[in-house]
Amino acid sequence: MINRMMKRIVLGLALGLGVSFASQADAAVILEDRNSKVVIDPSGPGGMHTWEVDGVDHLASQWFFLRVGDGPEVSLDELDTLDNPVQILASDGNGRPGNERVFMQYTTDDYIVEVDYLLTGGQVGSKVSDVAEIITIINLKDTVLDISLFQYSDFDLGGTIGDDTVRISGGNTAQQHDSGTVMSETVVTPLPTHFEVALFSDTLDKLTDGDKDDLNDFAGPLGPGDGTWAFQWDFEIGVADSVIVSKDKGIAVVPEPATMSLLGLAAFGLIRRRTA
């Protein structure tokens, strides 16, 4: 059975950036809040590659890809260059130990991409956690910018691989379940243009094959297996204009028998905690 290290090797090879994440360790951003820890590599292909809740890591990788016009999809970290290095600002806004928020800005000649993460942990032992994200794309061209944004997600709930069930409902909510651990991510705005549920590494291969691809709108459910899922947004951004993608995801552990219907309740509870 494939393990997490093997999956990270596959990701690194697919992007042509080597097989080691350690080379980017000095660039890692660590967010911490109560029972939760998130690790993001802004300059590496893994992106957000750790989400620990009460000591259990539920995430292999969640990251973004971009496509301009009819070009191929490229990983967001490829915009981090010597001429335009990614700008990172981590902050603590609640007075608890550790930074729980990070703002990252990637700049090219034609556009800017900004990613804002906010981690909200639960009480120690509660086994709940929430991450909110806002992604902003700003057009710097003097013509309309035809651009697509992709979010690829590979969760290994409960820290195990190959036993998750995944589906997308309503075109904007990804739901994943593994032996009492549930994860739900809802796109608040705008509704994705396309989505895809697949087994590892089918969607990743599509996003890294060097040509133009769209997600296939397969919603599942799929599993048990090593399931992944992705969202796609297609935009035409006017001159001096911008677009914003807002979404929220939560993890919770609930008593068995847990069903996919519990995902909505778990996410609702997490969002209420974060708002409070």
C-alpha torsion sign, points 151, 19, 225, 131:
negative
Mean pLDDT of the chain: 88
Residue scoring higher pLDDT (88 or 95): 88
For 204, the enclosing helix (H) or strand (E) is: helix 202-207
Distance CA 137, CA 135 (A): 7
Asked whether the predicted pLDDT for residue 12 surpasses 70, the reply is no
Asked whether the predicted pLDDT for residue 267 surpasses 90, the reply is no
The residue-averaged pLDDT of 97-104 equals 96
- DSSP state letter for 255: P
Residue scoring higher pLDDT (180 or 149): 149
Residues of the chain with pLDDT > 90, as a percent, come to 79
Asked whether the predicted pLDDT for residue 76 surpasses 90, the reply is yes
Asked whether the predicted pLDDT for residue 264 surpasses 60, the reply is no
Number of helices (H), then strands (E), belonging to the chain: the values are: 3, 18
Asked whether the predicted pLDDT for residue 243 surpasses 50, the reply is yes
Q: Are residues 103 and 89 in contact, defined by beta-carbon separation less than 8 angstroms? A: yes
Ordered DSSP codes for 10-48: HHHHHTTS-S-SGGGGGG-EEEEETTEEEEEETTSTTEE
Residue 7 has a pLDDT of 54
For residue 115, name the pLDDT band (cuts at 50, 70, 90).
Answer: very high
Residue scoring higher pLDDT (213 or 26): 213
Geometric angle at alpha carbon 140, from 208 and 148, rounded to 5°: 30
The residue-averaged pLDDT of 112-134 equals 97
The residue-averaged pLDDT of 139-161 equals 97
Distance CA 29, CA 222 (A): 32
Asked whether the predicted pLDDT for residue 276 surpasses 50, the reply is no
Q: What is the CATH number of the domain that holds 155?
A: 2.70.98.40
The residue-averaged pLDDT of 198-222 equals 97
Looking at the structure of the chain, the number of domains it has is 1
Residue 86 has a pLDDT of 96
Which region holds residue 54: left if phi is over 0, alpha if psi is between -120 and 50, else beta? left
For residue 56, name the pLDDT band (cuts at 50, 70, 90).
Answer: very high
Residue 160 has a pLDDT of 94
CA 137 to chain centre: 16
Q: Are residues 208 and 230 in contact, defined by beta-carbon separation less than 8 angstroms? A: no
For residue 119, name the pLDDT band (cuts at 50, 70, 90).
Answer: very high
Residue 25 has a pLDDT of 37
Distance CA 101, CA 81 (A): 23
Which region holds residue 52: left if phi is over 0, alpha if psi is between -120 and 50, else beta? beta
Q: Are residues 53 and 36 in contact, defined by beta-carbon separation less than 8 angstroms? A: yes
Asked whether the predicted pLDDT for residue 271 surpasses 80, the reply is no
Residue 268 has a pLDDT of 41
Distance CA 168, CA 231 (A): 10
Range of the domain at 270: 4-275
Asked whether the predicted pLDDT for residue 259 surpasses 60, the reply is no
For residue 4, name the pLDDT band (cuts at 50, 70, 90).
Answer: low
